[in-house]
Amino acid sequence: MTSAETWRRAVFFVTFVNYAIAHLARKCYTTVKTELVAAGVDKTILSQMDTGFMLAYAAGTFISGRFADRFRQNVLISVGLFGSAVCLGAIQLLDASRMIKRDHGLGFFLFVLAQLTHGAFQSLGGPVNTSVMGAWWPKKGRGLVFGLWTCHQYVGDIGAALVSAYILHRGWPWQWALLVPAVASGVWGVINLAFLPNSPSQLGIEAEGEANAPLVSSVPARGRASEHEHGGVGFMDVLRIPGVLSYALLFGSLKLANYALFFWLPFFLSLHFPPDRANTISSLYSVGLMPGGVIVGLLSDALGGRRACVITSSMCLLVPLLWVFAAFADSMAPALLLPLLVLMGILIGGPNNIISSAVAADLAEHPSVGGNARVLGTITGVISGSGSVTAALGLAVIGPLQEAGGWPAIWYLLIACVCGGIALMAPKVHRELTAGSSVSKSPTCGDPAMHTSASA
């Protein structure tokens, strides 16, 4: 095994654990919602807390994407992990549920402030880790590699569900469910500072395809090649890349569906199961999310990079499944409910994972930005940030909508989101199906004109 291959595997592992711990930290809060409601926090307030977290996360993602292209990524990742540990520790010290019951205004303010700050620190994870991975892994076979890599978040989600279920089953205080991710975040932040390389060039290793990079960037797009080479690509430059805006809007639809289930599925299941069992069962959704990214990445590689076709196919299958939950979830037998949760995870996780990783990396190679890898963080930040804004606004209505129309109203909202995403992808699917063999090399999944420019 060559030195480059050894370091690729090390980078894969460290960044994988980075994101797993980040999701462990944010998921543990959602698994104790039943305990918070019992302590006097109503569902509308919980919905506002979720929205605050997502808004801070969304705003931070735009900024962290720019930081990822300009500063040392391992330092940024460590700051995010350390900050997450501090926020979780603050929630434990505040004992917010008792404060809300005793002094609603002060308790609500402090708890939401902790969640807002937590969202900002968590936003450093996605764009920065993706930027590191994009520097180490070449485009060939990227769909499968990133599909496997994006299992990180679901490993964290499943770990959080199991840890919380164990703690609640033992009758320990719910705050203990936040202690494990706080300690893990701090320890892994130190490991990033000590061991994570930001790029192959930092170690004197030439990444695959680097030798050809000057040929791409030597043909300046709109005369700004030198600016691009120094990581000076701005948000407007990124938004002009064909496909970025539509994928950002699509990612928002998928992220709202994913985060509605992420934040509320344990609570929904607690209506039918004891809290500890509800947390364990909710992990089945995350189990399905893991192979989803691998399947979509592998299929899109096999189909010559036609990622929009595979993504849209997954969403078309998801619509009738969501309708089944809208019509029958309240009376569904557990023997049917459990496998359908896994299937739902596969169909949501596949498109969601591949857009925020492999698709973003493909878009970063568009010739209009000089083929500069240092723009990947900004592109990931724009896509993820836009998705987080949409998810935050959608989560604001989940609590009130559930109160007014019950859980069927939530499922129909998710159906509308997915149908909107299918409509967004229709033009890209048409281009991929009519572009012929050139699509296999198109950085934006199906635009033959872009393939011509890149080849030139």
CATH of the domain at 436: 1.20.1250.20
Residue 97, pLDDT above cutoff 70: no
Whether residue 197 is contained in a domain is answered as no
Residue 255, pLDDT above cutoff 80: yes
pLDDT of 373 reads: 52
Residue 448, pLDDT above cutoff 60: no
Residue 25 belongs to what domain range? 11-192+230-455
Residue 162, pLDDT above cutoff 90: no
What is the model's pTM?
0.66
pLDDT of 172 reads: 84
Q: How many CA atoms lie within 13 A of 408 on its CB side?
A: 7
Question: Which of 96-105, 153-162, 340-349 shows the lowest per-residue confidence on average (mean pLDDT)?
Answer: 96-105
pLDDT of 317 reads: 93
Whether residue 204 is contained in a domain is answered as no
* CA dist., res. 355 & res. 361, Å (int): 9
Whether residue 406 is contained in a domain is answered as yes
Question: Which of 12-21, 163-172, 337-346, 382-391 shows the lowest per-residue confidence on average (mean pLDDT)?
Answer: 382-391
Confidence of residue 166 (pLDDT cuts 50, 70, 90): confident
Whether residue 2 is contained in a domain is answered as no
**Which residues fall within 8 angstroms of residue 292, CB to CB, at 6 or more apart?**
314, 345, 346, 347, 348, 349, 350, 351, 352, 353
Q: What percent of the chain has pLDDT over 90?
A: 10
Range among 73-87, 259-273, 327-341 with highest mean pLDDT value: 73-87
Confidence of residue 89 (pLDDT cuts 50, 70, 90): confident
Question: Which of 80-89, 277-286, 435-444 shows the lowest per-residue confidence on average (mean pLDDT)?
Answer: 435-444
Whether residue 215 is contained in a domain is answered as no
Closest CA relative to residue 229, chosen from 69, 65, 360: 69
What domain count does the chain have? 1
Alpha-carbon torsion, ordered 45, 49, 51, 52, to 10 deg? 130
Q: Is 331 exposed, middle or buried (0-12, 13-18, 19+ CB in 10 A)?
A: exposed
What average pLDDT does range 199-215 have in this prediction? 58
> What are the two backbone dihedrals, phi and then psi, of residue 241, each rounded to the nearest 5 degrees?
-65, 125
Question: Which of 120-124, 130-134, 258-262, 451-455 shows the lowest per-residue confidence on average (mean pLDDT)?
Answer: 451-455
What average pLDDT does range 59-73 have in this prediction? 82
Question: Which of 97-101, 105-109, 120-124, 297-301 shows the lowest per-residue confidence on average (mean pLDDT)?
Answer: 97-101
Whether residue 224 is contained in a domain is answered as no
pLDDT of 282 reads: 77
Whether residue 214 is contained in a domain is answered as no
Whether residue 341 is contained in a domain is answered as yes
* CA dist., res. 243 & res. 445, Å (int): 9
Higher pLDDT, 377 or 10: 10
Question: Which of 224-228, 239-243, 330-334, 365-369 shows the lowest per-residue confidence on average (mean pLDDT)?
Answer: 224-228
